[in-house]
Every structure is written in C-alpha cells, then in structure tokens.
Amino acid sequence: MRFNLRRVFVLCLIAFCTTLVILSFPRSEGPYVDSDIEKDPQFLQAAVPEGRHFNFDQLNTKKGPPRGRVYPNGAGEQLTFQKQPNPPSLIKNTDYGDPFDFTPPHDQQLLRRIYEAIKRIDFDELIPKECTEKTTLKQYWLQTEGKQVSADDSWERFYSHIGSCDMYRDETVIDELLRDLNKFPIKTVHIMDGGTQVKLVFTFENGKQAVFKPMRFGRDYESDINHFYFSDFERHQAEIATFHLDKILGFRRAVPTVGRIVNITSDLYDKAEKKLKKTFFVSPAKNKCFVGRCDYYCDTTHAICGLPDLKEGSLQVFLPDEGSVPRKHNRSPYRRTYSKKNQLAEWQTNMDYCTNQVKAKGVYAHGRKLLDLIDLHIMDYLIGNQDRHHYESFNVFGKIPSYAIHLDNGRAFGRTDFDDHDILLPLKQCCLIRPRTLQTLLNYYSEPRSLTRALHDSMFKDPVHPILAFKHYPALERRLHDVIKAIDGCLQKVSASAMVMNHFHNSAVAEDQAEEESKINILAWSIDGSRVKVHSKLCSIFKKNYPTLTCHIPFAFFIFPILVQMCLFPQRIVCIAKYGFTIFCH
C-alpha cells in the first residue's frame, strides 16, 4: 500500500512538471490572430465583401502604420478608450447651445383624460395629511429625552433639521451645507471600505465627513450596452443631478450632494492615508493618478487621472452616525436578480406580483412604505437607475413611520436612448400613487415650466455646472410621458379614490403582522454581490413563523452553515438577525 501511494505521488509530480514544461514553450498563433491577418493578403481579400476592395498599401510598413487599425470589413479605425477630460466648468467656451431645442412628447388628450378621472380628488385636503406628525431630530430629542442638539456648523444644523417627513425643509440650511462641502479645507483622505467602485472619505478641518466620487468620464459618456446594471461605471454627476431632481419633485429624501474640483497632489496625495497613498502614480502622459481599493475597476487600467492633477467629483454629506441616529436597511421586494444567467426576477414576469406578494406582506400592507417604494421607482425611472436592491430609512422617531431615503444613485443617467420600463412595474402593478406626487408630475407635464427647465435651473447653482449633457433632457421628458401614460393606464383599471392615497391599508392583513415582521431583518452582503437563496438551520427557524422571510448568503459559502461562515471567513458580510438579539460579523 505504501508503495502504491508513493507511485501515485511520483506519477502526479511527473505529470505536473511535464505540464509546466509544455506551457513554457511559445505557442504558435492560430490563423485568426491579427498579426497573421496583416501578413496574409489572400485572407484579407477573402474577408472583403464582394464589390469592395482592400488597400494593401496601407499595410506596407515602409509607409508607416495607418492611423488606427484598419479592418477588412471597412469599419474604419478603432477608437481609443474615452479620455478623462478636464472639469467642464474650467473650460472657457461656455456656449453649449440651447438645452431646450426639442419638443417634449406631451399629449393634451391624455392629460384631459387623467384630469377627468381625478376631478373628484380633493388635493388641497389630501396633501396636508400626507405626513401629520411633523417633527425634527432637534424637536424630537428635546421632547422625548430633554436632549439639546448642537448646531455649531452646517453639518450639525443639517442633522438637527432631519425630519420625520423628509430629509430637510429649510433650503437655506442646505445651501450653507453645500457651500461648505465645496469650500471647506480637507484635513485627511482615506478609502471608503465596502464599495464596489472607488470612493474616498474626506474629513474636513471641523471633523465632519463626506463621500467623494471622482469623475471618470465626460458628461457625454453613455453606458456600454453590454454592461449589466451591477457592473456599470458609477457617475459622479448622477449623484448631483438626482439630488436636484429629488428636490424639485418635492420628495426631499435624497442626501445633499455638490460638485467639487480637487487637486490630486495637494488635496488628495498630501492628505491621504498610507493605504491610499500607495495607489498613487504618474501616468505615461505625466498625469497624476490613483487607483484606490474597491471590488470593481480599481486597477491601473481604470485609474483616476487628472490633467495633469485637477479632478472633479461629487461630495455627498455623511448621514449622522448610526450609533446616535439608527437606520433600517430594507431589502426591496422589486430587487433584480443580479445574475448573468437568470436575468428576470419574479416581479418582472408576474403582473400579479404586487397584489399577491407585496401588498400581502405585513411591512407593506399598512402605512406609507408601499407609497414610498412607488415614489422611489418613479424617480428611478426618470433617471434610468436599474440598480435599486435595498433602501434605507431612519429608525429614530419612535412609532412615527419613516420614509425611504433616496440614497446611492451613481448608476443613473447612463443612457439616453434606452428606457427600462420594468422600473415602472411597481406603479403599474400596484396602481397606487401619492396625491402630492401625482399633482407634481401633472404640473410639470402640463405647465409652461417643464421638468427639465426646473431641473436645469436648480443644477445651474452647482459650482461644477453643467451637470448633465443636454441630450438627457429629451430623455427625461420622454420618461415623464411614460409615467403619465402608466398613471392613465391604472386609472382605466381602478377608480381614482382607490389609486390616489397617502397611506395604503390592506384589510386582509392584520396590522400587528407588520410589527412582528419588522422585528426580523436578515440580510447578507457579500463582497462580489453574488447571492443564493438558502434554507439554513437558522433561517428555517424563523421561516416557520414568518413564511415571507427570505435569507441570503454568498454563493461561495452556501455549503457551510451560516454561523460557521460568519465566524471563519473574513468576507465583508453583515448578517443582521433581529429577534431579541443582534449579530454583526465582518
């Protein structure tokens, strides 16, 4: 037996060494490699369509290489990867043309039909009842705990004004905060952990912080049509534009964001932490670059470079620390599969999904959550954001129901030629909308001051304007038209009173079920975003009493018990189980 084991070991070693030797020999290239194509005129001529001729003189090295690569199909030169431009606000030529040189696709007959359907809705009565318990953190803590909230700088004034109905009300507080984000001296810079793409955390001299997303492409860049929504590049201008769109739509649930131009040397490198500083380098074009550390696109191929050292980006204020102002992390029922193979989720194929699944869930069967979700998806459709898997809400105002925070919009405004109608399915399936949201959309659709004019005027105040390429304006108006058509479609199926409301109530679901389900919130976040449904022992215990509960763990570890993987594998996983106890594992 010992002899056989030795023999097997020796044979395996010989096979391994032989494989290494074979791999070390240079390979002869196949017949379709570019170098052979360029050497074989017969192959080139065979590849040229009949009736067309290929100029072989272009391949003569004595005349020098042609500009760009020449292809036999006559496709022309191969374009280079888009360069990282200078901030548009620094360009002297500010003549960008007329941004409104297009005709919005407004349908007056459609508008009259909707107004006829909702003529019995009293908006003046309903809108004030949207959120009756209006308070701010400053007022709430003073009333419930007798605690005073400091307001020494614009960050603290913003935090103290965070409300139970919306993120902010007083725009003077927000304007002051945006000015400080744009002008305050930077003290330290470090990498923001846990992101899929490069993001930095700026700590200012007052000790407050903000997230910096650097500009990677110019305003005209559009997403690659072959990129999945979860692998698309993030765009800093999308965060800025979404903040302004959220404001003019009257939601006021997006985190304040502003543009800022930084010097890669004096603002970033000189103040960077050691881990970040190691990623800086000078490119062959003598531009100063850095890579950062993240899951996607953090390598020298996708480095962030200045011209030579200026870089534009978006700065988004940090929300208050969760230790003092806790937040809930909610998994969206309209989350996509995030899979390359199974690309359609159940809600994308089952038009009864809202009725049978969402409205039957305790957390959405009563209150404002379902209306919040529809507001969020209307905004996502307007900005073209497919990447909405979770949403957060404040958990600090006691029994006052909180709103969905409109956070993480970096993959919006990717394409102007494509509208993903699946984003609107929550509206089309549930046929619910808030009176304030409906009134605002109809006003922008019918009044002389269109949605894009209001957005343009709001974004003009940002220091790095123009924020969006003007080609996004017709796309916004086109998508607004689609939203209005979806509303009209619902009004033809249900009455206006059954559609327009501030709070949804499903009489078939007990209200205490929503309270019980809210006690359980099991989420798993993995570094690569891959997840599979599992029924581990822990999840099975909860699912006996709560059949709507779903559990997710990273695909790579699905064969291990959930507790073992939490303790042994140092992945960036956060498993939260709230049922009288809480587990955090990093």
User: How, if at all, do strands 288-290 and 304-305 pair?
Assistant: antiparallel
Phi, psi at 359, each rounded to 5°: -65, -20
Q: Which residues belong to the annotated binding site?
A: 197, 213, 234, 316-319, 392, 408
| Alpha carbons 515 and 297: distance in angstroms, whole number | 41
153 is an active site residue? no
Q: Which one is catalytic: 246, 372, 380, 387? A: 387
Q: What is the largest CA-CA distance in the chain?
A: 93
Alpha helices (runs of H) in 384-508, residue ranges in sequence order: 425-430, 435-446, 451-459, 472-491, 496-499
The 3-state secondary structure of 81-139, one letter per residue: CCCCCCCHHHCCCCCCCCCCCCCCCCCHHHHHHHHHHCCCCCHHHHHHHCCCCCCEHHH
Task: Check: CB of residue 195 under 8 Å from CB of residue 294.
Answer: yes
Q: Which residues belong to the annotated binding site for Mn(2+)?
A: 234, 408
| Residue at token pair 């003092």 | 324
Tokens found for residue 424? 């609107």
Q: Which residues belong to the annotated binding site for ATP?
A: 197, 213, 234, 316-319, 392, 408
Task: Check: CB of residue 392 under 8 Å from CB of residue 327.
Answer: yes
Task: Check: CB of residue 189 under 8 Å from CB of residue 272.
Answer: yes
| Alpha carbons 241 and 372: distance in angstroms, whole number | 20
**Which residues lie across from 366 on neighbouring strands?**
505
Tokens found for residue 93? 């030529």
Q: What residues are labeled active site?
A: 387
